[in-house]
Amino acid sequence: MASPPAPRPIPVGACVFDAYGTLLDVHAAVGRHAARIGAPGDGKAAALSALWRAKQLEYSWILSQTGDYEDFEALTERALDVALATHGIADPLLRQSLLAAYRELDAYPDAGPALAALQAKGVATAILSNGSPGMLAAAVGAAGLAPRLDAVLSVDDLRIYKPAPRVYALAAMRFGCAPRDIVFVSGNAWDAYGAARFGCRVLWLNRTPQPEEYGLDRLAEGRITTLAELPDRIFA
């Protein structure tokens, strides 16, 4: 049987990335301190990290839906407190260590090389994130990604979280182009959906992979399993 044709390269005005879960590994903070959370192989650290992330996102969605706002750093702290309490952990020093580690998350190994390759091709790059400006500056700097980005955009300017449509408009305004001229890359299916509904051309980064959600097989330009695939998919 013949192999399917390779996807056509996508012309772009800019390539815009989600930060947490796309360029930055949201589970790296707990990973650094896993030995302080549970015994090897008991799954407690992984469960705590998953709940921390789930509550962080839940709080952002609830606030946006109710017309309220707190910055992402505050939500991250509140979510961690719930995750720790749920797992019966009362350790102020561990809490402090985890929050400090979250400000300096590891970049995924494919993030820097992909951004560099796009930069070499003349493609403008940016982050569009729920993260507060201080969090993003610390994380992007610690991960060594700052020289590879033309802009780091935060929802804090609008005081509402993704997937609100006007968040994605920040990218179009920053680069002075139509949504269709932006390729948006996210490792979060709900975020990819939000960008696609706004009108961006979306590549869903499905690392694990996870099953298709939100009709992304229909709405997105396609899916990739690693950022190493990205430079061959787009051009300036």
Residues 158 and 62 in one domain: no
Residues 168-194 pLDDT 10s? 999 999 999 999 999 999 999 999 999
Let me know if residue 113 belongs to a domain: yes
Cα–Cα distance, 51 to 14 (Å, whole number): 33
Residues 98 and 215 in one domain: no
- Using pLDDT thresholds of 50, 70 and 90, give the confidence band for residue 5: low
> 194 is in which domain, residue-wise?
10-25+105-235
Residues with active-site annotation: 18
Residues 206 and 114 in one domain: yes
Q: What is the reported pLDDT for 83?
A: 98
Let me know if residue 4 belongs to a domain: no
Domain CATH number, residue 66:
1.10.150.240
Residues 82-100 pLDDT 10s? 999 999 999 999 999 999 9
The reply to whether omega before 7 is within 30° of 0 (cis) is no
Residues 76 and 120 in one domain: no
Residues 21 and 34 in one domain: no
Let me know if residue 196 belongs to a domain: yes
Q: What is the reported pLDDT for 185?
A: 98
Let me know if residue 3 belongs to a domain: no
Domain CATH number, residue 211:
3.40.50.1000
What single-letter DSSP state applies at residue 208? Answer: S
Residues 144 and 82 in one domain: no
Residues 140 and 167 in one domain: yes
For the entire predicted model, the pTM comes to 0.94
Mean pLDDT of the chain: 95
Cα–Cα distance, 187 to 12 (Å, whole number): 19
Residues 121 and 211 in one domain: yes
Three-state secondary-structure class, residue 219: helix
Q: Count of domains in the chain?
A: 2
Q: Which residues are CB-neighbours of 208 under 8 A, at least 6 positions away?
A: none
Residues 35-74 pLDDT 10s? 999 988 899 999 999 999 999 999 999 999 999 999 999 9
